[in-house]
Amino acid sequence: MRAFIDAPLLIYLNTMSDPRARMSYEDFYIRTLTDYKLYTDVFVLDEVTYISKRKYGIPYYVSSRFIESIILPYISIINLGEDEYKLAARILVEYNLKPSDSLHLGAMLSNGINLIISEDREFDRIKEVKRLWI
């Protein structure tokens, strides 16, 4: 089964330094890699980099290395184009989500993905998708 991985899990993996606190997130990430074919988009990578720096002080080069070693070898990147935007625009108006979340959903739905791995409960309002979290 295919699933889309949102930024929160990846941000936690990139920023948590306490091994005990990090363990449940690592286990969840490994389970998702085992159980699903994972996808994401470039806006998720942007969120991981930006939020890791702004909120947690993680240097950009650390986030870049994290993305290159922990994300890119295991998660496919979905391209964003006009079709994804059109779906996102509909979702944005219909559900009043943030534009970036609407783009994630546009990418998912245009690629036949109906499961999102995310901490964000706003996705629970979207009838076309199911959300999975720890």
Reported as a single tens digit per residue, the pLDDT across 50-68 is 999 999 999 999 999 999 9
- Average pLDDT of 62-79? 97
% the chain with pLDDT above 90:
99
Predicted pLDDT of residue 7: 98
Secondary structure in 3-state letters for the chain:
CEEEECHHHHHHHHHCCCHHHHHHHHHHHHHHHHHCEEEEEHHHHHHHHHHHHHHHCCCHHHHHHHHHHHHCCCCEEECCCHHHHHHHHHHHHHHCCCHHHHHHHHHHHHCCCCEEECCCHHHHHCCCCEEECC
Predicted pLDDT of residue 70: 96
